[in-house]
Amino acid sequence: MDNGGRTPVAQYEEQQLPLAEIPRRRTRERLVDKTLEEMSLEQLVGQRFVTWLAGPAPTEKELHLAREGAVGGFIVYPRNVVDRAQVTALTTALQRAALSSAPPVGLLLAADQEGGRVAALRLPDMPQFPPARSWTQHDDPDYVEASSYVINRELASVGINANFAPVLDVYEHGDESIIGDRAFSDTPELVGTLGRAYLAGAERAGVIAVPKHFPGHGSTAVDSHGELPVVLLSREELYDRHLPPFRAAVDSGAPAMMTAHLLLPAVDPRYPATLSQRIITGILREELGFDGVVISDGVAMGAISRNYDVVEAVELSMKAGVDIILVHARYDVDELVEATVELVRQRKIPRDDVEAATRRVLELKARYGLLPPPP
């Protein structure tokens, strides 16, 4: 077929395919309204936390959290994975418990399944993919979309409905960058195009894709798992090189976005991005127009935990505009929910803000079939 000498990337850009619109929006809105009306304050707050699992089978405490609607979801790590049947049993048990709550609300069950060195599930009967950097050798967004579809369809087959991918950081400084080959490219426009293709594949697979790490982690060699990176970019460098892939994702209808734990003094010299109202509300919400769910990177990571008390970090991130706090390790989510409820009762976090954020979470869940219709 004659393509006029255009590359596959150029052809894909010309198609400008939006993510599929999910029908019955009004029905979903009524369902969200009804669910919100029936939720206690503890449940409203609980929806704003995704937490860790102790092992390959759900504990009684984890099932209790699900049954009480006390948590919005769980993240699956390699320690929770034995084989396909076991993962399916794990996710099924958790979802059944959640759907027995009053009101019934399904769980976000998430994983980091990027490919390459970041893949929570490495099952022998599950296709494994190289890191994103190697995907660009094909110069073909259709390849990325197909790869995304396979990765996310495999996750869906074992009950995982959210994938913390794709990485939309721009590949900087070669292998000195902590992101390295997890990024598609060093060209912002190409990262945006391939990220959009990835989102389309995940959408077809029925899995919530969560692009990361906003507003861009590609220029730092410091690992935020251990300490807080300080990124000495100018505002112009941020806007010209690092924000375009995220803008493309927002314009494509990305359902969620994950924040980065890094300090950008040119934008906010005081707070790292996850805790920064200037970055989350000011740039992501207001400038880029993102109206989906904002998810923090893990609050137990050293970039946050070494510099902030965890309750303070939760308060600041919620005030900044983060909807879901990822408690990926270490902390007891029960205690964090209880502490956050107390912050609401003390009016340190406005209840209206809690309800608005929880509405966004429930709208996301309704869109992906996690709010069951009334009997």
Contacts of residue 38, defined as CB under 8 A and 6 or more positions apart, other chains included, come to 102, 103
- In the residue annotation, 142 being an active-site residue is answered as no
Handedness of CA 309, 311, 315, 321 (dihedral sign): positive
- Answer yes or no: are the C-beta atoms of 219 and 234 closer than 8 Å: no
Question: What pTM value is reported for the model?
Answer: 0.91
Question: Catalytic one among 112, 169, 181, 297?
Answer: 297
Tell me 279's DSSP state.
I
Q: How far apart are CA 294 and CA 124, in angstroms?
A: 33
225 is an active site residue: yes
**Per-residue pLDDT tens for 134-185?**
999 999 999 999 999 999 999 999 999 999 999 999 987 554 567 889 999 9
Three-state SS for 100-136 is CCCCCCCCEEEECEEECCEECCCCCCCCCCCCHHHHH
d(CA 293, CA 287): 16
The tally of CA atoms less than 13 A away on the side-chain side of residue 315 is: 18
Per-residue pLDDT, averaged over 319-326, amounts to 98
* Residues shown for the chain: 375
- Burial label for 184, CB within 10 Å (0-12, 13-18, 19+), is buried
pLDDT by residue (tens digit) across 273-293? 999 999 999 999 999 999 999
Q: Which residues contact 33 (CB under 8 A, 6 or more apart)?
A: none
Of the candidates 225, 242, 261, 334, the residue annotated as catalytic is: 225
Q: Which class is 23-367 in CATH?
A: alpha beta
CA atoms within 13 A of residue 357's CA, in its CB half-sphere: 27
Domain boundaries, the chain: 23-367
pLDDT digits (tens, 9 = 90+) for 171-230: 875 545 678 899 999 999 999 999 999 999 999 999 999 999 999 976 665 555 657 888
HSE of 226, CA atoms in CB hemisphere, 13 A = 5
